[in-house]
Amino acid sequence: MLTPALENDLKAAIRTIPDYPKPGIMFRDITTLLGNPRAFRRAVDELVQPWAGAKIDKVAGIEARGFIIGGAVAHQLSAGFVPIRKKGKLPHKSVRIAYSLEYGIDEMEMHEDAVARGERVILVDDLIATGGTAEGAVKLLRQMGAEVAAAVFMVDLPDLGGAHKLRAMNVPVRTLVAFEGH
């Protein structure tokens, strides 16, 4: 758990843009947090804190904001980094999975040799909403034999149930701040 003061500081560092990208959505823009040296460092330190000293082989980041946070998390844990990308972007032989979005489905990919069987992986993205994206990434990693040690996010939208969905898949979840609603 974060102290209330730290949670407030991190929350205040995130900008909210109403009705983006469409009416009714409150877009939680973490670029302001990333641009704030102190907040960025504290957020990454807090995300990795339970795994400091643990054996984590890889950090998998979800395109695109998960790459930024995931790179910092991987560095902090002395782990490798694995990009999980939208389909058609990776140059080498890849594995692909369909996942559900709020409206419709999309596909994500990972290089087939990016994780080895039995490796312990932490999944990273900026925000978890319905959990459809993270669920797809967990399935992809497990399909390749990885052990998903945890999934970590700066922001949780608990009303949308994504963190709950991941925990029901036996994935420990860590989030730093929560916002009500969509």
> What is the C-alpha separation between 133 and 10, in angstroms, rounded?
23
Nearest Cα to Cα of residue 182 among 34, 20, 15, 4 = 20
Check residue 81 for interaction with ligand AMP (CB under 6 A).
no
> Are 70 and 124 within 8 A, CB to CB?
yes
Check residue 27 for interaction with ligand AMP (CB under 6 A).
yes
Q: Active site includes 46?
A: no
Check residue 156 for interaction with ligand AMP (CB under 6 A).
no
Burial code of 24-49, b = ≥16 C-beta within 10 A, e = fewer? eeeebbbeebbebeebbebbbebbbe
Nearer to ligand AMP, 57 or 141 (CB): 141
Nearer to ligand AMP, 20 or 45 (CB): 20
Number of residues interacting with ligand AMP: please give it, by CB under 6 A: 18
Q: Active site includes 180?
A: no
The least distance separating ligand AMP from the CB of residue 118, rounded to whole angstroms, comes to 27
Instruction: Pick from 127, 149, 150, 166 the residue near ligand AMP by CB under 6 A.
Output: 127
Give the interface with ligand AMP as residue ranges (CB under 6 A): 25-28, 62, 65, 125-134, 162, 182
Which residues belong to the active site? Answer: 65, 102
